[in-house]
Amino acid sequence: MTEVLDIRLDRIDTAADLAAAGAELLETLHEIGSAGLPTSPSTAHVSVVDARGTACALTASAGYGSGMTITGTGLVANNALGELELNRLGLHALPPGTRLASNMAPTVARRDDGSVLAIGTPGADRITTALAQVLLHLARHGEDLQTAVDRPRMHPRRLDDGSTRVEHEQDATIAASLDDAGLARNEHPLHVMYFGGVGAALRTGDGELQAAADPRREAATLIT
């Protein structure tokens, strides 16, 4: 599903312009939510690249929720202390003042040919593995943006008994490789939510704009 967000960055010259653009964006996001378009109660990611090569990647998370909202936005503040995937020693085990861990990894990248990429994903502790695999398909294998996002994924997981197991989407090559390596594995259907929801935008070296949305989660793309 697609919604047009006509927030023109090239109109922003002063702090007042920035404030006005922010207010316009917030109003549009409220309209999107009330219209039933894709929104997220937990982690969401937006990737944007414009024709001039400006790139922005933003990942925002409510985690399991803190019970507080940010005044005037309707956004729920995160409670990273409740992220089980990020607190392997148990909840509330960190000393006061310890910097909280986060797997969120909004990423921008450039190439010498002038191409610009913005990319990121929700997915708790699967964020880093999902991004690493998509970037590998893009940079090493030279695949197009949507093909790289659609490729089957893997994720190594440490179980409660201390053993490890590789979670992976259904793919004969992946299964055979893991079996040959003697690694324990657990197979999922193709394109399941567990493996994230990568969103990416790309400006190619010749100026073409591309966008890709992950079939694993609700998403939207727009090129204007």
Q: What are phi and psi of 168, to 5 degrees?
A: -150, 150
Q: What is the pLDDT of residues 12-69, one digit of tens each?
A: 566 676 677 667 666 665 665 555 544 555 688 999 999 999 999 998 887 777 778 8
Assign 3-class secondary structure to the chain.
Answer: CCCCCCCCHHHCCCHHHHHHHHHHHHHHHHHHHHCCCCCCCCEEEEEEECCCCCEEEEEEECCCCCCCECCCCCCECCCHHHCHHHCCCCCCCCCCCCCCCCCCCCEEEECCCCCEEEEECCCHHHHHHHHHHHHHHHHCCCCCHHHHHHCCCEEEEECCCCCEEEEEECCHHHHHHHHHCCCCEEEECCCCHHHCCCEEEEECCCCCEEEEECCCCCCCCCCC
Structure confidence at residue 41 (pLDDT): 53
Q: Is the model more confident about 158 or about 179?
A: 179
Quote the pLDDT of residue 35: 53
Q: Where in the sequence numbering do the catalytic residues fall? A: 43
Q: What pLDDT score was predicted for residue 73?
A: 78
Rounded CA-CA distance 192/94 in Å is: 32
Say if CB 29 and CB 3 are below 8 A apart: no
Least confident of 48-62, 73-87, 176-190, 202-216: 73-87
Query: Where residue 165 falls among pLDDT bands split at 50, 70, 90?
Result: very high
- Better-predicted residue by pLDDT, 93 or 32: 93
Give pLDDT, residue 155: 97
At 33 the pLDDT is 53
Inter-residue contact 131 to 120 (CB < 8 Å): yes
Which span out of 74-78, 85-89, 100-104 was modeled with the highest average pLDDT? Answer: 100-104
Say whether pLDDT at 180 is over 80.
yes
Cα angle, residue 64 at apex, residues 151 and 58 outer, rounded to 5°: 50
| pLDDT at residue 15 in the model | 67
Q: Give the total residue count for the chain.
A: 224
Report pLDDT for 9. 46
What pLDDT sits at residue 69? 81
Summarize pLDDT for 107-147 with one digit per residue, the tens.
999 999 999 999 999 988 899 999 999 999 999 999 999 99
Tokens encoding 197: 């929801």
Whether the per-residue pLDDT at 84 is higher than 80: the answer is no
Say if residue 174's pLDDT is above 60.
yes
